[in-house]
Structure 1
Amino acid sequence: MTAAQLLDWTAVVLLLLGALLSFAAGVGLVRFPDLLSRMHTAAKPQIMGLVLILVGIGLRLFPDPRIGVLALVLVFQILTVPIASHIAGRVAYRTGRIRRDLIGVDELEEQMDRRS
């Protein structure tokens, strides 16, 4: 097996694993019962799936200079998705759109009680 074939097979495995994680994120969005659980599954496996997919594409395009674009996509996604999820979660919490019976430890409620 040549080095090019090894890179191709590694890229295929990474692409399939990334697609599987992205599919799991999609299933979680449909199946989980509340907003906070859905946000968790939309952020965590989606980002990991995207990382695997981008690394697989990068291995496939290895000598190509467009790999820098893939790195930019990855950096922007890693920076924006967790922040957006955090902000959406806080808004949902403050507007009462979450199921409080599913929260084990509510640290935000203690902080909000101290402020008011």
Structure 2
Amino acid sequence: MISEWISAVLLVLGAFFMLLAAIGVLRLPDLYIRMHAATKASSFGALLMLVAVSIHFPVAYVIIEAALVIIFIFITAPVASHMIGRIAHLLKVPKWEKTIIDELENRIHYDEKGGKTDD
């Protein structure tokens, strides 16, 4: 009985973080900030939901499968987000006008073909 309540609370919290990620993607001003919201909040929401499933169905293969999915999400989401950000920076996707620091601005220079140059 208590495991059902814990599962329900975790599912609601996971759905809330997924909703927060979706709202962030719609409402935030530029690609870089949207990407942050989509990666962080949705990964945490998926974690909460998969933990809820593991608690509700305490069978070894369900717990192992949920753990593997969590590991996969937490490895691939940041890498994908990083790659999207790098490509967006290469393509000079406009930043929000209130952006103060661009740490890649002066560190990486590319020629016309996309190759790095020495500076």
Post-superposition CA distance 1:19-44 (Å, at most 9, x none)? 00000101111111110011011100
Indicate whether 1:102 and 2:98 are aligned.
yes
Q: Higher relative contact order at CA 8 Å, sep ≥6: structure 1 or structure 2?
A: 1
Q: Which amino acid is 1:83 matched to?
A: V
Deviates more, 1:75-84 or 1:106-115: 106-115
Name 2:57's counterpart in structure 1: 61
Q: Which amino acid is 1:24 matched to?
A: L
Query: In 2, Cα distance between the equivalents of 1:90 and 1:102?
Result: 20
CA change 1:115–1:42 in 2 (3 A) is farther
| Alignment of structure 1 residues 1-116 onto 2, 5 Å | 5-99=1-95, 101-112=97-108, 115-116=118-119
User: What's the offset of the Cα at 1:109?
Assistant: 1.0
User: What's the offset of the Cα at 1:64?
Assistant: 4.7
CA change 1:100–1:22 in 2 (3 A) is closer
User: What's the offset of the Cα at 1:67?
Assistant: 1.7
Cα RMSD of the aligned pairs, angstroms, is: 1.6
Query: In 1, Cα distance between the equivalents of 2:68 and 2:51?
Result: 12
Confirm or deny: 8 A CA contact 2:30 2:96 kept in the other structure: no
User: Aligned residues, how many?
Assistant: 112
Post-superposition CA distance 1:27-77 (Å, at most 9, x none)? 111111110011011100000000000001100001352221111111111
Unaligned 5+ runs, structure 2: 110-116
| Identical columns (%) | 35
TM-score (structure 2 length as normaliser): 0.86
